[in-house]
Structure 1
Amino acid sequence: MKTIKRVLEPKFKWGIAGLGNFAVNSIIPAIKGLRRSRITAVFSHSFERAKEVAGLFSIKEYYDDFEKFLSSDFDAVYIASANQYHYDQVIAAAKAGKHIICEKPLALNSNQAEEMIRVCEENNVKLSVGYVQRFHPLTRKAKEMIDSGLIGQPVIINVSQSFDYPPNQNFRYQKENGGGALRDIGTHCIDLLRFFGGEIEQIEGYLDNVIYKSEVDDFVVATCKFKDGGYGNFYASFCIGKPINRIEIVGYKGTIIIENLIGKRLDYAKLIINKVDETKKAFRMKANKLQNLIKNFQNALNENEPLLVNGYDGLINLKLIEEIEKSAAAKRISRNMS
């Protein structure tokens, strides 16, 4: 009788930096749910928090010293720290030879992002950014339909994403931490506009405090022109009581609508196709977008799969954010002078 030996695949080892709610409720469970992945170390500026989370998920190593954390044995780090720490932590991780997924926005400004990309390239490490909404299967299905010409040339793309985040959500309302509706939610909208419509040649917008008065915006609306033709709009908000999450791609031959990519009804997305010469079709699907992003990142390292979001996506999105902020500031100055 022959004995069949099972060859165990080596696990891809992760470190997690930043242990807020998103890391604990989403990132860590997503990685632990992947057969070929494991988390070997976590980092928090609070030693007690690091110890608590490590115990919760049976992770052996926990640190409140970032350099010691980087000396631990793992292949890549998911940086989910507050925005103000992204720059220093990505630079340090790259110099330590760790591959990196960094939460969005990549940095506080485009100058920082350019330096982060340069250091990653110099140290031959991959850099991705947490633009998870590209990774829902229905998002990708819609993109394939657009590219196939199903709805003709896109004329306009509208993206709406809003939540009720009152000012007690402190990190979202801290200017020094890159807070505000534009940088927190609008960055996803910009990424989706680029994903479906291609690169943007012009963009302008308005920032406002419609409901919640603070040092950062609770509402943003913007309009753009795509290099390959067509237009895009988006609004993002902290101040709408019932969350709205909708993408509408309008072409000459029809319209594609995607709903519920994010929100409390986690990942039960809906895709609607409404062609001029056909009856309406609809699809529903549940998927773990974050897990798909992480799988793509691991496959890019292990199997040379194309990396679907890279550091340059984070840089371009930041430059577009800065253009919106400039145009909004100019409009405020003009309004005050009139």
Structure 2
Amino acid sequence: MLNKKIRSPIKKIKWGVAGCGNFAEHSFLPAVLISRRSKVTSIFSNNKQRAKQLANKFSISNYFSDFEKFLTSEIDAVYISSANINHYEQAIMAADAGKHILCEKPMAMTTEQAKEMIDTCKKNNVQLSVNYVLRYHPVVLKAKEIINSRMIGKLTSINMSFNINLPPSENFRYNKKLSGGGALRDLGTHLIDLLLFFGGEIKQINGGLDNIIYKEDVEDYAYATVKFKDSGYGNFNVSYCNKRALNRIEILGSKGAIAIDNLIGVKNEPSKISILLKDEAKRVFRRRGNKMLYMLRSVQKAFLKNETPLVTGEDGYINLKLMEELERQCS
């Protein structure tokens, strides 16, 4: 009789989700359902009925409207998906309770708050990551590998756009007291993260904020040019006022170029990376996949091993500092 090898149970991260907005409901929670190493065991909302609704929908054992009680439940990590104004307080409390933290972007309302979040996590020996979900996608990692290999030569410029249709509503993003800002803090922060990931340290940022279509409390359009410390420039534009847009990333070097399509603002088509080099045929690679699942697999591995995640609290701090500088220029 053959001895059957008994597999040990897969260790899972037990998540608590703080905030029951659309992104948690339609992006994070569905990704957890198909992850082998994550499980949501508790959910929190100031609106207890909303917490109960999502708990029932996703078969989550515990739901709370009291954040302190939520933190005493059986969880290893907290995904903070609440309005921006709540990130700081919830992160500090979660870190003091010994929980790893995945925080939505921007990580805080101010760099002072972000610094305290980082320090508190270090003091409590817990990991802090900010959900810059685009960085984890295979086409982004491939582009980073190509840049580092100098296949396209010395970096000269990076151009990015992220434009969506988001008319004014009761969504917290249009309330400056809750969000801290509009298109820049909501969309531009993703592109700043990619600029930092691809181009390295940014020594200068200049740009503008505007209300082109929606005359609201926060900007519906933002643009910027950055100068990298090592080589080249980066440009981006973001907006809430485009019903259809060609959101694209173009990375230019002295020997070639990279283009990334269908990564930003696209759900149902495979992302595509095109590589153009002198005297060579264009190479194209496509990759279909769930952006949140790519992120979750990386973050849960870091949390399970208590290792530094791909995106750190320090990354979030630098990102926020650049946004504050741009906002200061426009005030």
TM-score bracket relative to the smaller structure: over 0.9
CA-CA distance at 1:6 after TM superposition: 3.3
Deviation larger for 316-325 or 243-252: 243-252
2:78 aligns with 77
Structure 2 CA distance for aligned equivalents of residues 49 and 296 of structure 1 = 29
2:127/2:307 contact within 8 Å kept: no
Residue-by-residue CA offset, 1:222-255 (whole Å, 9 max, x unaligned): 0110010211111011111213321110101111
1:39 aligns with 40
CA-CA distance at 1:265 after TM superposition: 2.8
CA-CA distance at 1:3 after TM superposition: 5.0
1:285 aligns with 287
Q: Which amino acid aligns with 1:176?
A: K
1:267/1:289 contact within 8 Å kept: no
Structure 1 CA distance for aligned equivalents of residues 44 and 74 of structure 2 = 13
2:301 aligns with 299
CA-CA distance at 1:266 after TM superposition: 4.0
Residue-by-residue CA offset, 1:124-168 (whole Å, 9 max, x unaligned): 110000000001100000110111111001101111110011112
1:163/1:244 contact within 8 Å kept: no
CA-CA distance at 1:169 after TM superposition: 5.6
Q: Which amino acid aligns with 1:270?
A: K
2:127/2:306 contact within 8 Å kept: no
Note the aligned Cα RMSD (angstroms).
1.4
1:131 aligns with 132
Structure 2 CA distance for aligned equivalents of residues 129 and 90 of structure 1 = 11
2:318 aligns with 316
1:296/1:305 contact within 8 Å kept: no
Structure 1 CA distance for aligned equivalents of residues 197 and 51 of structure 2 = 36
Structure 1 CA distance for aligned equivalents of residues 143 and 233 of structure 2 = 17
Structure 2 gap segments, 5+ residues each: none
1:263 to 255, 262, 265: 265
TM-score (norm 2): 0.96
CA-CA distance at 1:276 after TM superposition: 2.1
2:210 aligns with 208
TM-score (norm 1): 0.94
2:13/2:38 contact within 8 Å kept: yes
Structure 1 gap segments, 5+ residues each: 330-338
CA-CA distance at 1:328 after TM superposition: 2.0
1:226 and 2:191 matched: no
Structure 2 CA distance for aligned equivalents of residues 96 and 129 of structure 1 = 19
1:104/1:131 contact within 8 Å kept: yes
Structure 2 CA distance for aligned equivalents of residues 240 and 149 of structure 1 = 35
1:267/1:288 contact within 8 Å kept: no
Deviation larger for 224-233 or 162-171: 162-171
CA-CA distance at 1:294 after TM superposition: 1.8
- 1:207 partner SS: strand
1:235 aligns with 237
Task: Spell out the pairing of 1:66-215 with structure 2 (5 A cutoff).
Answer: 66-168=67-169, 170-177=171-178, 178-215=180-217
